[in-house]
Amino acid sequence: MHHPIPGSHKHRTRIRVRYAETDQMGVVYYSNYFVWMEIGRVELVRERGFNYKELEQTEGLFLSVIDATCHYLYPARYDEEIVVQTEVVNASSRTIEFAYQIRSAGSDRLLAQGSTRHIWLNREWRPVRLPDQYREVLRIG
C-alpha cells in the first residue's frame, strides 16, 4: 500500500472491566492495567500472524519483562468497555518495547498510557536472539 494510514499498525483490543478488577475506591486497582497491557501485546502478536502460546511451547521462547511503567489520567470503572491500543516502539533481535494507550471505548477518553520492555529468554532462562521470521513480524510500526 502506497499511503499507509497513520496509526494503522496500532493494534486495538476491547476489554470489559470486571468486578474483580475494582477496589474499594470504586475504580480499577492500579496493577490491573498491567494485566490489560499483557492482553494488548498478546493480541498484537496474534494479529500479526502467530501466537505467543506457540512461541513458548514450540520455540521455547519467553518474553520476559524488564521494565514496566504506567501513567494514570482517569480511573477506569466497573463494567466500562475499554480499548487497549498497543504498538511496537522499539525492537532489536534481543529486546522489544511496547507502548500502550488505554481508552474508554465510549468516550475515547485516554485513561492511562504505559510501556513495557522485554528480553527474549530460552527455556534455560538465558537471553537469546529472536529468530528472523519472528523479527520480521514483530518489527516497529
Question: Whose Cβ is closer to a copy of itself: residue 1's or residue 25's?
Answer: 25
Q: How many of the chain's residues bind a copy of itself (CB under 8 A)?
A: 35
Q: Please give the span between the terminal C-alpha atoms of the chain, in angstroms, as a whole number.
A: 14
> Is 110 a binder of a copy of itself (CB under 8 A)?
no
Structural element, H or E, at residue 43: helix 32-47
The rounded distance, in Å, linking the Cα atoms of 15 and 40 is 10
> Is 35 a binder of a copy of itself (CB under 8 A)?
yes
Question: Whose Cβ is closer to a copy of itself: residue 14's or residue 141's?
Answer: 14
Between residue 59 and residue 78, which ones bind a copy of itself under the rule CB under 8 A? Answer: 62, 64-73, 75, 78
> Is 1 a binder of a copy of itself (CB under 8 A)?
no
The rounded distance, in Å, linking the Cα atoms of 17 and 80 is 6
When computed from its CA atoms, the radius of gyration of the chain, rounded to whole angstroms, is: 16
Question: Whose Cβ is closer to a copy of itself: residue 66's or residue 137's?
Answer: 66
| Under 8 Å between Cβ of 14 and 107 | no
The rounded distance, in Å, linking the Cα atoms of 68 and 80 is 24
Residue entry with cell 474508554: 104
In the residue annotation, 108 being an active-site residue is answered as: no
> Is 32 a binder of a copy of itself (CB under 8 A)?
yes
Pick from 7, 14, 53, 137: which binds a copy of itself (CB under 8 A)? 53
Q: Kindly list the residues in this chain that would bind a copy of itself in the complex (CB under 8 A).
A: 18-20, 22-27, 29-32, 34-35, 38-39, 42, 51-53, 62, 64-73, 75, 78-79
